[in-house]
Structure 1
């Protein structure tokens, strides 16, 4: 994937980060590579804020929030590809998210993706991702912008009995590293994913995504066709799941954030 005025990396690996900075009041400020411009918000929907900023601030705008038990972040992209291909950046984002989480969690527990947009850890849902595209772009046109965003359950401290919700867990309960480190890692892994796309083709991005899909299937039994999930069952039958319909369903999320 190439980009206008933004995320178009040339580095072959995630960059080494310098010492962490602080903002006024002692709040942790992210260190992000140069393509990104960060905006921290205390309340509200980071996805909606990134969409609002997209038209004026453009590619690399990075909105994030860590409050009220939620870790959320969103990035603005400006692809040069036609929408049909540019939309596949969603899978680059999901692969980057999975890599970032895997780098900051217990290695002996499974980190998986439920197609197309949900992240689970040790069989419990911890969050997911969304994608928005600038209105008016046709399938054969490059969209003015896209927004990829993530929401993760940082903690469930507000629940009197978290064990009553066994289908979900949180970064705190699963002893992930600090949330800011996860966000920084995501930003770097996203650059790496786009670099692979640019130099090796989209399959270099799709393959890691497919490897993490739940439930596990033999290599080669799954593929993506324009984003649709195509699975070949042991019986020989083929199943196809529509990408746009599955993305619109956003089954992992309620009105105010990840479902508990």
Structure 2
């Protein structure tokens, strides 16, 4: 409880200011234009969002496996029970990962095909500019804009510091379904996608209105790096389950 309070207060937002400054330095140093900024936002949404999904799936599985191994003496007479539990956890985790890989990854794939028409990328190697994003396009996007990712991860650190599932020795099994819902756990990456959409639409307006300058980019980055989590409702607490 104290950890959540410390995390989600305004004094804890100084890393967001650092990420904002670092993002501006990267854009200024690399001489990025609107196309570069749009694709850097797309890449950060994909990579940071997918990493968040992996964390939301993987952390509870690892926590449950760790707790079941710790208390394996409780099922010493049925050694297959532990193996069955682990198999169910792994299969369930792989299913969720596959689902969100298709859903979240497919969404970004479709979005990239839309972006390439307005902000084409020269993939090099004789490919030239194209109106269809392929493997060479994504490799080029990753090569050009990976320096933006550390700032993006720093700005979204709260998603990785928050544990979707926490296990202790107190018997409070009812709390598993009390405060945590699956939709709230996986809403973080999709909120980032929505924010990216709004910023890219703003870039469209700035591009066609010929308002492309560093001051405009600064405002957009300020919106991206602003700690919006502090003005939303308090974050959902981790579910607490215990075995005794």
What TM-score, normalized to structure 2? 0.25
Larger relative helix fraction: 2
What TM-score, normalized to structure 1? 0.24
Q: Which is greater in Rg?
A: 2
Structure number with higher relative contact order (C-alpha < 8 Å, ≥ 6 residues apart): 2
